């Protein structure tokens, strides 16, 4: 029997999705995979029903239904201040997962070097490897998860320079929201080394404690070299709808559309038409969303405070990295399985977010209703006694 490709041997199946299966196996509360446990806004569900009733069942335009691209462009223009051309600067994808792969394959060739912060969302490393590129990691240092400017410069300069740098902001898994000053440091290096920046901004509206999300493409001179990836999943609680997009200069999108076409052809047509309804909502919706998730964060952190375990307070997104060192496990994977089985709460082993051996952390998400978080919190309190 012939062998499978060498590239598939260098990364594992998603630990995030695996822990969802483990949670189901043990009847544990799933704080592993990051999806809301409530329904989308009722108006959005009704719009989906109306799209189905209207017979929107066949392919939309491959790179996105025109009305969706119009609505996305208007929303992006409001948020970023950039004049976004819906005809030439957008491609609608099957979620941000495809958007990131499309962006990577559009700008990178085999042998190129791609920079990314560590800890990172597990897909990024796999995306680089599947593209044939070499990941170059820059550490985010706990507890504040800042970066060392000298280490960042060294990464940009390595191996003749980076072809692209991946920036997740707000960051999954550590909840960091990068400041304008930090982003300007990245921008200066991207300009100096002629590097593309691929942003994952799916948590753009989930920022807490009065912080500001700064769109990288809106920084001076960055629109020409930024591929902005995002999705509508987290913002509107529709992770199963799989609607994402890439925004970039027209000449880049012309190539990205070809990649997207042969990867998936297109996202689900009726759902593309339906989500136009939500994209017209004003700033009050986004402010309310951030306020709600901040309250959920504070609820979960209140229980974690009672465990005596250390964590970094998330500035954005909906994840928290919990240091489980005092529990005495030598493997974070073993710890995560034990938590699902014995504590009744399933986290993600933190090692899935690092390129080097790291067993100190598990990741919990607070994209759940208050009753679910209270139930999880009551179980997590048992961690203060160590292994039970």
**DSSP E strands: which ranges in 46-163?**
90-93, 113-118, 134-141, 146-147
pLDDT reported for residue 236: 95
The encoded tokens of residue 69 equal 């691209």
Question: What CATH architecture does domain 42-279 belong to?
Answer: 3-Layer(aba) Sandwich (3.40)
Which residues are CB-neighbours of 70 under 8 A, at least 6 positions away? 86
3-state secondary structure of 122: coil
For the purposes of burial, counting CB atoms within 10 Å of the CB of 388, is it exposed (0-12), middle (13-18) or buried (19 or more)?
Answer: exposed
CA-wise closest residue to 239 among 25, 20, 62: 20
Contact 296, 370 (CB under 8 A): yes
- The tens digit of pLDDT for each residue in 140-196 reads 999 999 999 999 999 999 988 999 999 999 999 999 999 999 999 999 999 999 999
Dist CA 178 CA 6 (whole Å): 36
CA-wise closest residue to 388 among 302, 310, 307: 307
Which pTM does this prediction carry? 0.94
The encoded tokens of residue 194 equal 């002629």
The encoded tokens of residue 370 equal 């208050």
- The tens digit of pLDDT for each residue in 327-342 reads 999 999 999 999 999 9
Task: Tell me if the bond preceding 143 is cis, omega within 30° of 0.
Answer: yes
3-state secondary structure of 368: coil
Contact 197, 222 (CB under 8 A): yes
- The tens digit of pLDDT for each residue in 89-98 reads 999 999 999 9
What is the fold of 6-40+284-385?
3.90.1150
Residue range(s) of every CATH 3.40.640.10 domain in the chain: 42-279
Residues in the chain: 388
């Amino acid at each position: 029997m012939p062998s499978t490709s060498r590239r598939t041997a260098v990364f594992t199946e998603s630990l995030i999705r695996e822990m969802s299966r483990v949670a189901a196996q043990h009847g544990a509360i799933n704080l592993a995979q990051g999806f809301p446990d409530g329904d989308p806004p009722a108006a959005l569900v009704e719009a989906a029903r109306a799209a189905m009733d209207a017979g929107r069942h066949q392919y939309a335009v491959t790179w996105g239904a025109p009305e969706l691209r119009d609505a996305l462009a208007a929303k992006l223009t409001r948020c970023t201040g950039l004049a976004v051309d819906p005809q030439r600067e957008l491609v609608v994808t099957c979620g941000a997962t495809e958007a990131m792969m499309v962006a990577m394959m559009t700008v990178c060739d085999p042998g190129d070097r791609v920079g990314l912060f560590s800890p990172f969302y597990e897909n990024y490393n796999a995306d680089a490897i599947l593209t044939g590129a070499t990941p170059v990691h820059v550490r985010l240092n706990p507890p504040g998860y800042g970066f060392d400017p000298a280490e960042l410069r060294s990464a940009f300069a390595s191996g003749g320079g980076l072809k692209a740098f991946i920036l997740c902001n707000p960051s999954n898994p550590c909840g960091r929201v990068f400041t304008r000053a930090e982003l300007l440091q990245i921008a200066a290096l991207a300009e100096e080394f002629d590097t593309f920046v691929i942003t994952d901004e799916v948590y753009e509206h989930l920022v807490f404690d009065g912080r500001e999300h700064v769109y990288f493409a809106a920084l001076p001179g960055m629109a020409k070299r930024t591929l902005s990836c995002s999705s509508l999943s987290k913002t509107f609680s529709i992770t199963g709808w799989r609607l994402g997009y890439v925004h970039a200069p027209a000449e880049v999108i012309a190539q990205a559309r070809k990649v997207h076409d042969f990867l998936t052809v297109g996202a689900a047509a009726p759902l593309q038409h339906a989500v136009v309804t939500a994209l017209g909502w004003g700033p009050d919706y986004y402010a309310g969303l951030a306020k709600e998730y901040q309250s959920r964060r504070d609820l979960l952190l209140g229980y974690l405070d009672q465990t005596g375990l250390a964590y970094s307070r998330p500035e954005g997104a909906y994840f928290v990295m919990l240091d489980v060192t005092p529990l005495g496990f030598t493997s974070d994977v073993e710890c995560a399985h034990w938590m699902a089985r014995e504590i009744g709460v399933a986290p993600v082993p933190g090692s899935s977010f690092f390129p080097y051996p790291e067993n100190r952390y598990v990741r919990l998400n607070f994209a759940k209703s208050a009753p679910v978080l209270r139930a999880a919190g009551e179980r997590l309190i048992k961690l203060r006694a160590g292994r039970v």
